[in-house]
Amino acid sequence: MKSAGVLGTHSLVATVLGNHATQAQKEYYLPKMATGELWGALALSEPDAGSDVQSIKTIATKDGDNYIINGSKTFITNAEYGNLLLVLAKTDPKAIPGAKGISAFLVEKGHPGYAITKKMEKLGYKGLDTSELVFEDCVVHKSQLVGEIEGKGFTQVMAGLEVGRINVASRAVGVARAAFEEAVKYAQQRRTFGKPIAQHQAIQLMLAEMYTSIEAARHLVIAAAEKKDRGERCDLEAGMAKLFASEMCVKVTMDAMRVHGGYGYSKKFIVERLYRDAPLMIIGEGTSEIQKLVIAKNLLKKYQI
């Protein structure tokens, strides 16, 4: 069974292709992605370029009907077990702003010129592979350029990240909900001073705040997803959902551990794993700080005087 992170990355790549690929590219790749024959991975982040996508250093040099890709990528989800990379590279390194020089390429697993150099060990989310990649004179045909137009890669992927942010926000709600349910169950079983700890006011206050926060995040996710389903831009809504849900997830999983007391820190209960999984939510698909900038930018546009 594929993890939520793998499915999220796969759907992001499929979204980019569905919105921006040529008809021939769609007809070839999308059916195979729908059946699971191909699993997508987004090769975007680099050692010196994470949130600042415009600063990527991977280069794709035009050579006749081909492009030669050189560079490295890191923190690439699904790189090891996926088999279709969506690679961002600069076709015009001198472009100003840098986003205008970025293009997106499709590279299938086993293609000569690229290799996984390291599988990264993580604090949590261990059901999702994360790797480092290196491209050395990786030759791809011009037909592998998404949309077959140079300089559109940044726009293509940023639009897809709306889906990615909603996906991560929904995962944050799921992890937090699991932690809450473990906490509320444990609170009714664990007894202190002659009664279940769920009857102590301090625990009741924590449970009430946890559930209220989860429900608030869930509604933000639904609002963003519904707007995306209508075909509307949802930068603001996706950013708010991602920001609130991810920060909420970290707090709720910590509170769930506190409800469990010392047992929450042990591997006897699942909450310690949920607590380790939670930090990925505030990093994946753009940090909380990036979401705040996205939100502010859209608010200033919405309320421009």
Residues 252 and 276 grouped into a single domain: yes
Backbone torsion region of residue 194, taken as left when φ is above 0, otherwise alpha when ψ lies between -120 and 50, otherwise beta:
left
Q: Is 264 helix (H, G, I), strand (E, B) or coil?
A: helix
Point out the domain boundary residue: 151, 181, 199.
151
Residues 177 and 49 grouped into a single domain: no
Check residue 266 and report its DSSP letter. S
Q: How many percent of the chain have pLDDT more than 70?
A: 98
Residue 139: per-residue pLDDT: 97
Residues 70 and 208 grouped into a single domain: no
Residues 164 and 259 grouped into a single domain: yes
Residues 198 and 298 grouped into a single domain: yes
Q: Is 22 helix (H, G, I), strand (E, B) or coil?
A: coil
Check residue 201 and report its DSSP letter. H
Spacing of C-alpha 292 from chain mean position? 16
Please give the Cα distance from 303 to 215 (Å, whole number): 28
Structural domain for 167, as ranges? 156-302
Catalytic residue check, 285: yes
Residues 202 and 133 grouped into a single domain: no
Q: 123, 279 in Cβ contact below 8 A?
A: yes
Please give the Cα distance from 90 to 57 (Å, whole number): 7
Point out the domain boundary residue: 151, 186, 213.
151
Q: 175, 278 in Cβ contact below 8 A?
A: yes
Residues 181 and 255 grouped into a single domain: yes
Token pair belonging to 220? 């933000």
End-to-end CA distance of the chain: 51
Walk along the chain (305 residues) and give the pLDDT tens digit of each residue.
455 567 778 888 999 999 999 999 999 999 999 999 999 999 999 998 877 888 899 999 999 999 999 999 999 999 998 999 999 999 999 999 889 999 999 999 989 999 999 999 999 988 888 999 999 999 999 999 999 999 999 999 987 888 889 999 999 999 999 999 999 999 999 999 999 999 999 999 999 999 999 999 999 999 999 999 998 989 999 999 999 999 999 999 999 999 999 999 999 999 999 999 999 999 988 899 999 999 999 999 999 98
Residues 278 and 246 grouped into a single domain: yes
Q: What pTM was computed for the model? A: 0.87
Please give the Cα distance from 168 to 285 (Å, whole number): 7
Residues 121 and 179 grouped into a single domain: no
Point out the domain boundary residue: 107, 128, 151.
151
CATH number at residue 103: 2.40.110.10
Residue 1: per-residue pLDDT: 43
Residues 9 and 104 grouped into a single domain: yes
Q: Which neighbouring-strand residues pair with 47?
A: none
Residues 280 and 164 grouped into a single domain: yes
Peptide bond into 279 cis (omega under 30): no
Token pair belonging to 296? 């502010």
Q: 27, 115 in Cβ contact below 8 A?
A: no
Residues 292 and 172 grouped into a single domain: yes
Domain count of the chain? 2
Catalytic residue selected from 150, 247, 272, 285: 285
